[in-house]
Structure 1
Amino acid sequence: MPAHIFRPGIIDALAAAALFGASTPLAKLLVGAVPPVLLAGLLYLGSGVGLLGWWWLRRRLGREVREAALARHDVPWLAGAILAGGVVGPVLLMSGLAHLSAAAVSLMLNLEGVFTASLAWFVFRENFDRRIALGMALIVAGGVVLAWPDEAAGGTSPWTLAIVGACFAWAIDNNLTRKVSAGDPVQIAGLKGLMAGLVNTGIALAMGYPLPAAMATVAAGVVGLLGYGLSLVLFVLALRHLGSARTGAYFSTAPFLGAGLSLLLLRETPGFAFFGAAGLMAAGVWLHVTERHEHSHTHEALAHDHAHVHDEHHQHAHDFSWDGREPHTHFHAHAPLVHSHPHYPDLHHRHAHD
């Protein structure tokens, strides 16, 4: 395994992928007992209540928090992320999941990484190269194979398009969340979960759906806390270090775990298209996780607030008493700097390329 796989952010992205990937077949087990819109709400409520409860308790007990709080200028970005990824995305996913196999849906979720990267490259101007573009092309090809008319793969239907729509909604969410990724990830994920959960649950109740049995409600909350809440905390940390496109690429490993669990837990029998799509998507993900990006680059003057250690990018003095503990959080300024080292488009490497 390449040594750079252990760079900050990569393990966070892979762990986030594992948790989210496992949530798809587990949610499939609940779809029969809970209507899709209501299930989407309960998943996010479990995420929001659990994370914000921990966030509040951490402060109540006087535990030191070394993360920057969200600021007023973060609100529009976070609100857009909640609408796209917390309201639209999960409703579309649960609707499609109610009619398609969990294994097929799990692999189709790879399209989230493709859409995330496309928006990051062409709308938010993150850098990319031919290797990354080829990897995304293979993932797209896998999605096309999987969505081709085939009974075992779920068939081309409105429900297939619902999964594609969910992937696009989450891609918007990912790129907007990147804008606030310097903030406290527990606070970000908790607020997203709570607001999205309240909206979706409110919609479901207004439609006349009754609350499910207590065990189903608790199960949905636990799946949401782990697969949507903790996964999102790790995803935000990855965004901070890797940028949207590359975080989406590493996150593309999620569907393979989800598909594998679907075959084991639900005893689904996929067709040939499933395995062909899996091979194409796996090749695309491999191109991403083996990437190495290094060149001489310029850091412009920058001032911001986030958790940091005093590495080569944080050589600044303090105008307050500091006990030397790291990481710590405070508003700080970066002087212009030119150097060369392996890097990703993190908080300090969002520069243009020739």
Structure 2
Amino acid sequence: MREIIYQDFDLLILRASKEREYTAVVRMSGGGDPQADFSADDLQTQYQTSTGAIEDPASRAVKLEIDPENYSVSFGPPPLMETAKAFGSRLFETIFNEKMYIALRRSIDKANREGAYLRIRLDLSRVPELGSLPWEYLYDTKLNYFYAQFIKSPVVRYLSVDDPIEPLIVDQPLRVLVVVSQPSDAGSLDVEKEWINLKEAVKELEDNGQLELFRLESATIESLQQTLMESFQDRPFHVFHFIGHGAYDKRGDNGKLLFTDALGKARPISAERMANELRDSNFRLAVINACEGARTSVADSYTGTAQSLLKKAGIPAVLAMQFEITDTSAIAFARRFYGAIA
């Protein structure tokens, strides 16, 4: 498999001078540096299936609710295809006016000529109130194309951090520390099945000495501390992978992961605490396979679990989700992801 090289299309969204108005600016693209002005009203919309075939259309709708202090998106079950396309095209057309679209297509053409793909890097750090929107749905109706769906045009959320990213030098195997947490007093998840499927997905990589999975003996914060201390100098881990429950505490404006206590009951660990625990362990990647692991405050882009690991733990890349996903989707993701990076 040939090495994949990406060029970046940096899309920064800023608040404009008037309330509820914004400016999207392109930086360092191969097609110039245009911008697009838009308002919150341009994004305020609700879509549902046009056929009326389902009993409760709202349960499958993407709903954006806006008030002066809060922007929130709610999902029921995974949206139908026309719902995703309708909402994604609204987002896309709001941002990509004629000049922005030309810059995007020229950047893609330039990358292709130079043997690379184009990565759309979306910086919402200055507009956290827009962070809950599903920007990954960006849909180009002219091409019938979800950009985030394809390896040639991934959409990633980008947060600037103070610490420089050092080159990763890995002596195989790639070592993955896995925390599998199922507190007895929390909702049931198929975490054991996910662990088994993860092991099966990377079996060939483990057999070839390319990757090594290490499951934390117990999902307590004390066990994590002890394991990281013992491995720090001799055999450091490269990837932190959490399987379990996640949540966002609106009152505390902080993401949380549910570890367990000594009795097996839920022990919420704040995003800030997690960042402190992982700070000195030189992880290069974190995979947070938990609901709302990427959700953050409408006032601060760095309060979510994923964002705190980037900013405060110094981990260069974090994979997480804002909304619920099915166990089947989580298992399929793990299988494909580790097969690609190891």
The structure in which a higher percent of residues are strand is: 2
Q: TM-score, normalised by structure 1?
A: 0.26
| Structure with more relative contact order (C-alpha pairs < 8 Å, separation 6 or more) | 1
TM-score, scaled relative to structure 2:
0.27
